[in-house]
Structure 1
Amino acid sequence: MKKVIFILFLLPCIYTYSQSKFNSNSYSVTLADIETNTFDKDSTANALVIYEEGNSYVDQSDYKLHTEIKRKIKILNKEGFDKATVSVYLYKNKNITEDIEHILATTYNKLNGKVIKTQLEKEHIYKEEYNENYTLVKFTLPNIKEGSVITYSYKLDTPFMFKYKGWNFQDDIPTLYSDYKTSIPGNWVYNIKLVGYKALDTNTSNLKKNCLEGPNGASADCSINHFAMKDIPAFIEEDYITNKYNYLARVEYELKTFRGFDGTVNDYTKTWESVDDELKAELSIGRQLSKSVNKEDFFNNQILSEPNTLKKAEIIYHYVQDNFTWNEEYNIFKDHTIKDLIKNKSGNVSSINILLHNLLKASKIDVKPVLISTRSNGFPTKIFPVISDFNYLIVQATINNKTYLLDATDPYLNFGQLPFRCLNKDGRLLDFKNGSKWIAINAEKPSSVLYKVQLNLDSKQDIIQGTVESHRTGYHALSSKKSYYSNNESYVKNLKNRFPNTEITNHIVNNKDKKNSSFTESYNIQYTSEKAGSNIYLNPFFVKFFKENPFKLQERTYPIDFGFKDYYNYIFSIDLGDDYVVLEKPENIFLKLPNDKGQLFFSTAVLNNTINISLRIDFKEPIYEIEYYPYLKEFMSKIVDIQNNSLILLKKK
């Protein structure tokens, strides 16, 4: 038996930008900036930030935060014209607002050997009320063409020192150089957070004495910081990502403490101890968690006297699932009570899961609430408490020394399974007696898909027919259950539409419980073989796990987040009868990801004129760091190639 073996070794991934003629050292536009119309590192880029800089400081005259911004961009093609439109959002409240001034913008083109400069006119700067919290200032640079270079600069003035200006180093187009300087007086102390996987090329901090003067001879020293990155690839969203702001390279500021010149000190960033105390007294969280419920109002004596604690917990969990409907609202810190939930039979996520918590607690089961942030909401900050980062509440139950994470908002979940939206790394377990702590939010078991296809070839009619069985577990089963049990006729119709040249009959779903952790179905198929003269070409993959490679980027700057461990298995056999023999069959392949983080096994064998094919795919990690991207890209490419091009050539005897 011939076998092709591929082994991907983990080697350092080195990405470097090729020599560029662009002037990424300054804001000044050079002839090379205008004349260079390609970017070799990323041929898909429509535009390119050549140079940008920001400088934030507190002015002595008004004690406001001022930020000066300059940016130079190359427009490579028509699809990049949108980068010539600049939008700036100015924050405001009832009494005061941010402001923008000194807007200067220029477009550079080369025409008939001469450089033409076109200035933005003031009348083309527009200002409008965006919403109650923001005013929008917008302008579009004039005379934009393919190959244009644009520059613009402006100054932001803000009295909101709690919103010290953050800086995005990364955009949806490549950036050659991004520079940010800050001067922060000692009156204001900030938590500084660097986000993303791109390292700073410059990161310095110095102290400047007496940079800010106060009344009666008081003064403050300033922390002078300089951050810079270069050769930053475009951030392009691809499959298997949570919120892009988890990974977009940037620096953020959170006001921790303000010290006035008069000696007053105000702390803005709280400790987890103080946050726990606040949450305990909070109307929609702590006070609802402390509400007593009469379990006799919900369950009969047979359930209440159930000796098996796990079975009792499952009964209570399924009761909440089946009798209370999630209204699709999060709003966990707004006024939602379990009293209203019981009355209306519908409520937000926290009211449903707090009722679950209280019923389990009343039944002497060890439970704790857990605050989390959903995948679309971004990761919660861990280095200091930011309560607004959380938008969801689930329950942890400990039964017989085993913990279960529970969410009763979805009637299709099985006990211990969270909705996919909740699989976002970490949650804060609230324990008002012993103190809160971080816990991992993971899918406990891998999810899997298994197909077993058994066919035979009718040589007289050239018809292929047989049976297909599929078995799904975990999150693959969850999506199938929702589709089938919500409308089984539509489910079968969609199944048939996926295979227009195939007759599908006798569809059967073997498990009837929508809360089951698996979903098993079977059906008969029949289709006409594809002939080429006296030969038949047969593609054994009636079902494809991946129709195309989801990984297409030249470089990915954020992890590959599947959310859960994944396993696929495809078993195919076809009885050729006595009239056909195999002329050609695919080669066997064994492929491994570095450090044994995944594997692919594909084999073809012929026994007693029956062809047996097996494809197994195993993703052993829920999340792969960025250094695995080129290997996963090749891994997935091989999977797609196997499914599309593994043809078997048969010949009549």
Structure 2
Amino acid sequence: MKANNFTFDVFPANKTELGFNFIFIPAFRPNLRWLLFLSITLLSLTSYAGNDVQKFGKISDGEIKMTTFPADTSASAVILYEKGTAYYQINQGFQVYYEIYSKIKILKPEGVKYANVEVPYVDYGSGSHERVQDIDGYVYNFVNGKVEKTRLDKKYIFTDNEEGKHFRLKFSLPNVKAGSLIEYKYTIVSDLEGRIRPWRFQNSIPVLESIYDVTVPNYFIFNINEKGYYPFTTKKEPVNQTFIFNGDMASIPCTHLFMKAENLPALKKESYVPNMNDYYSGVSFEISGVQVPGQLYKSFALTWNEVEKALLDDPEFGDNLKQSGFFKDEVKAIASSQLTDRDKIDALYHLVQAKVKWNKKEALYTSKLKKAIKDGVGNSAEINFILLDMLKDAGYNAFPVVMSKRSEGHLPIANPSIDGFNYFVVGVITSQDTLYMDASRKNAPINVLDEDYLVDRALAIRGPEGNQSTWVDLSHVAPSTNYDICKIEFENGKMIVNVTSTKNNQAAYVFRENYETYKNQEERIDALQSKFGISISNYSIQGLDSVNKPVVEKYTFAKPFALSDSVVFLNPLTIFNDNSNPFKAEKRDLPVEFSYPFTDLTSVVISVPKGYALEALPKSEKSSIKQNDATYRYMLQKDDHFLRMMVVLSLNETIYPVTDYGYLRDFWANLTAQDNQEIVLKKITL
């Protein structure tokens, strides 16, 4: 990936998709108007189109009759052309205009989804908001030798309030099917003049041509960062725009960037990649400063300490750390009890969960702590701020740990910015260790976080005075273990298997979350029976409602297993495990990212059936990746009546770069081959 810095800066993206090309970023709101707009009015703006001939409403015969894409026959759709044009205008201050145009050919039924467009935007109030306007679109279908044209109707346009000041405009083009050609356009008008939106050239479907055309007054100094594996061309040139200063016309120098990519392959979703936006070819902008003639240079480049201070100065974040007195009597009783520190913290953790239920919304900022307490429901920020303040009231050193969620992409460490953050959990320092928690997740105990928050770099904000930020790794907070113990016997032409499955920490949390998708226990049993092709009896489960305990499932099942042959082949590991290899590809373009470290242990005790003896057994095996990044052990022990098998897979490292993929592939191929070996039983004469 590239990160080229031009004399031009940009905000790092938070990776939320905007239409098909933008990556949206939450607002960083430098107050620039007082520097720039006291007496400036725009007279005219020249648009530069480079080698650009596409026009909205004009289609070609080849586009409408196109039925396949030979370069990628698996493509469900192809972006024929897309363009974003960003430029500045003045209307009571600088505004940034974004004109977006996209033309897409739908090739297969599954490509119809690309006719559903979403445009995130923010509204911080007067003078600091964005709006989406001039939405238009057409669908073209070739029917009985004629082109049928359907226009986007206003009834298919609506807006969702995602959370707080964040909104999402959505529209769906009508009458779209395989063979349709669609085009649409819209304009975003943004008061956030210190930000230029990022652009994504590559997509999950092929892109024939993608253009980002940006013109910026040289008052604004931006850094520009390129990313991705596929290049695009950039033409940079000085241009002039005519402005009026106090009634006098003046030509103001600007910088024009014309960026273009052609014939980009689809970047298809790969397993074990939490966010594909990290790898798309694109460009992002981060403001560095403002230089107005006759005034001192105003820098907006930040260090991470300054980011911490900015967060603490934001009333919707920092003010929430100064609250106290929530559930005062209960907190006082817990703090003065004879419980250990760990048990006190656990009691406070469950107290806030009992008092305020999660509304399924994630947030970093809020101004509604008291309302959440009154209503008994709140978003993640409200619940975690309340917990944090309760912990401090109880005498503990508690602090927020802010991050970029895994689903939103890696935090741009080289470009400090508030915009990289979109979530936080709570940290607490005790005399024994540091604990991490997210009280919005009722199925997670302390030190267990949802996998979206298990990031390898988060910022622990340890003091209200700032300058105490510390990077922490949340990806290895608690070990995840899954133990399967099986006892196998043979009787009456059946193999009887007794299973005890125990899940701890992350594995238990994931199980509890999944279990809630079932209406009742019977649905869970049906799911197991369907998955493994078995008939279950004597099912029981423990620990579902006690998050500090493991989840334990016990059940018995029987499978037909005739012992009439002189030689019998058996592999107990295939009875209820999927022993396929997820890493069969010779090469891989993207890193492998597991959600968290884990240990899976399978212990099997086989009662050798009467009249048979163990004829052949697999050999014990042990393998690893590098310095025990991952380890695998396959062990057997036998006597005349029993065969004891133990298989242990431990994954200690969660991220494997492309350069290490070969090690991971070979390691998994070896363990898969070992797990699929069979035990041979031979009939004997008694």
Superposition TM-score, scaled by structure 1 size:
0.72
Aligned position for 2:30: none
Residues 194-227 of structure 1 show CA distances to partners (whole Å, capped at 9, x for unaligned) of: 45xx235356575526566664464443445465
1:248-287 matches, within 5 Å, as 248-254=280-286, 257=289, 279-280=311-312, 284-287=316-319
Equivalent of residue 131 in structure 1, options 145, 155, 158:
158
Say if 1:223 and 1:199 are closer, same or farther in 2 by CA, change over 3 A: farther
Residues 545-584 of structure 1 show CA distances to partners (whole Å, capped at 9, x for unaligned) of: 4465556889765443322112212222312244113455
Equivalent of residue 449 in structure 2, options 411, 418, 421:
418
Aligned to 1:621, the other structure's residue is in SS state coil
1:292 equivalent to 2:292? Answer: no
1:208 equivalent to 2:238? Answer: yes
Equivalent of residue 529 in structure 2, options 497, 513, 520:
497
Residues 322-375 of structure 1 show CA distances to partners (whole Å, capped at 9, x for unaligned) of: 5543333334533322x4455554433233323322232233222212233444
Say if 1:263 and 1:632 are closer, same or farther in 2 by CA, change over 3 A: same
Equivalent of residue 479 in structure 2, options 446, 451, 472:
446
Asked whether the equivalents of residues 199 and 229 of structure 1 are also in contact (C-alpha less than 8 Å), the reply is no
Residues 392-424 of structure 1 show CA distances to partners (whole Å, capped at 9, x for unaligned) of: 332211112622112223344333332334223
Residues 407-464 of structure 1 show CA distances to partners (whole Å, capped at 9, x for unaligned) of: 2233443333323342234333332213352533333233121222232334xx2333
Separation in 1, partners of 2:640, 2:192: 79
Say if 1:167 and 1:286 are closer, same or farther in 2 by CA, change over 3 A: closer
1:356 equivalent to 2:387? Answer: yes
Say if 1:556 and 1:124 are closer, same or farther in 2 by CA, change over 3 A: farther
Aligned to 2:457, the other structure's residue is in SS state strand
Equivalent of residue 623 in structure 1, options 655, 662, 668:
655
Residue type at the aligned position of 2:487 = Q
Separation in 1, partners of 2:296, 2:153: 41
1:514-533 matches, within 5 Å, as 514-516=546-548, 518-530=550-562, 533=565
Cα RMSD after superposing both structures: 5.3
Separation in 2, partners of 1:26, 1:322: 59
Cα offset, 1:304, TM superposition = 0.9
Separation in 1, partners of 2:397, 2:95: 51
1:472 equivalent to 2:515? Answer: no
Residue type at the aligned position of 1:45 = A
Separation in 2, partners of 1:446, 1:88: 38
Segments of structure 2 that go 5 or more residues without pairing to the other structure are: 1-50, 55-59, 160-166
Residues 496-545 of structure 1 show CA distances to partners (whole Å, capped at 9, x for unaligned) of: 63555445337474x69813353344444444314574543433126544
Say if 1:276 and 1:331 are closer, same or farther in 2 by CA, change over 3 A: same
Separation in 1, partners of 2:401, 2:455: 13
Cα offset, 1:475, TM superposition = 0.9
Aligned position for 1:10: none
Asked whether the equivalents of residues 575 and 609 of structure 1 are also in contact (C-alpha less than 8 Å), the reply is yes
Aligned position for 1:325: 357
Residues 61-106 of structure 1 show CA distances to partners (whole Å, capped at 9, x for unaligned) of: x99877788888787x545864996969698999996677999999
Asked whether the equivalents of residues 78 and 206 of structure 2 are also in contact (C-alpha less than 8 Å), the reply is yes
Asked whether the equivalents of residues 239 and 256 of structure 2 are also in contact (C-alpha less than 8 Å), the reply is no
Segments of structure 1 that go 5 or more residues without pairing to the other structure are: 1-24, 109-115
Residue type at the aligned position of 1:472 = K
Separation in 2, partners of 1:143, 1:406: 46
Residues 442-489 of structure 1 show CA distances to partners (whole Å, capped at 9, x for unaligned) of: 33233121222232334xx23333533333222112234567799984
Say if 1:174 and 1:638 are closer, same or farther in 2 by CA, change over 3 A: farther
Equivalent of residue 489 in structure 2, options 442, 452, 456:
456
Asked whether the equivalents of residues 180 and 227 of structure 1 are also in contact (C-alpha less than 8 Å), the reply is yes
Say if 1:324 and 1:436 are closer, same or farther in 2 by CA, change over 3 A: same
Aligned to 1:493, the other structure's residue is in SS state helix
1:43-442 matches, within 5 Å, as 44-48=74-78, 78-79=108-109, 82=112, 124=151, 130-131=157-158, 162=193, 164=196, 166-175=198-207, 178=210, 180=212, 182-195=214-227, 198-199=228-229, 201-202=231-232, 206=236, 208=238, 210=240, 215=245, 216=248, 218-225=250-257, 227=259, 232-254=264-286, 257=289, 279-280=311-312, 284-293=316-325, 297-298=329-330, 304=336, 306=338, 308-337=340-369, 339-379=370-410, 382=413, 387=418, 390-400=421-431, 402-430=433-461, 431-435=463-467, 437=469, 439-440=471-472, 441-442=474-475
Asked whether the equivalents of residues 547 and 640 of structure 1 are also in contact (C-alpha less than 8 Å), the reply is yes
Separation in 2, partners of 1:565, 1:631: 17
Asked whether the equivalents of residues 27 and 51 of structure 1 are also in contact (C-alpha less than 8 Å), the reply is no
Cα offset, 1:186, TM superposition = 0.6
Separation in 1, partners of 2:191, 2:351: 49
Cα offset, 1:245, TM superposition = 3.3
Q: How many residues align?
A: 610
Aligned to 1:475, the other structure's residue is in SS state helix
Separation in 2, partners of 1:547, 1:532: 27
Cα offset, 1:242, TM superposition = 3.0
Aligned to 2:158, the other structure's residue is in SS state coil
Say if 1:578 and 1:398 are closer, same or farther in 2 by CA, change over 3 A: same
Residue type at the aligned position of 2:475 = N
Separation in 1, partners of 2:563, 2:655: 44
Residues 252-307 of structure 1 show CA distances to partners (whole Å, capped at 9, x for unaligned) of: 33556555678698887877667656654655543332223388711576851538
Asked whether the equivalents of residues 57 and 182 of structure 1 are also in contact (C-alpha less than 8 Å), the reply is yes
Aligned position for 1:3: none
Say if 1:228 and 1:617 are closer, same or farther in 2 by CA, change over 3 A: farther
Say if 1:203 and 1:648 are closer, same or farther in 2 by CA, change over 3 A: same
Q: Report % sequence identity.
A: 21
Asked whether the equivalents of residues 92 and 135 of structure 1 are also in contact (C-alpha less than 8 Å), the reply is no
Separation in 2, partners of 1:99, 1:276: 35
Aligned position for 2:645: 613
Residue type at the aligned position of 2:157 = Y
Residue type at the aligned position of 1:169 = F
Residue type at the aligned position of 1:408 = A
Say if 1:496 and 1:255 are closer, same or farther in 2 by CA, change over 3 A: closer
Residue type at the aligned position of 2:496 = Q
Asked whether the equivalents of residues 529 and 536 of structure 1 are also in contact (C-alpha less than 8 Å), the reply is no
Aligned position for 1:569: 601
Asked whether the equivalents of residues 137 and 182 of structure 2 are also in contact (C-alpha less than 8 Å), the reply is no
Aligned to 1:541, the other structure's residue is in SS state helix
**Structure 1 range deviating more: 429-438 or 497-506:** 497-506
Aligned to 1:298, the other structure's residue is in SS state helix
Separation in 1, partners of 2:502, 2:214: 57
Aligned to 2:572, the other structure's residue is in SS state coil
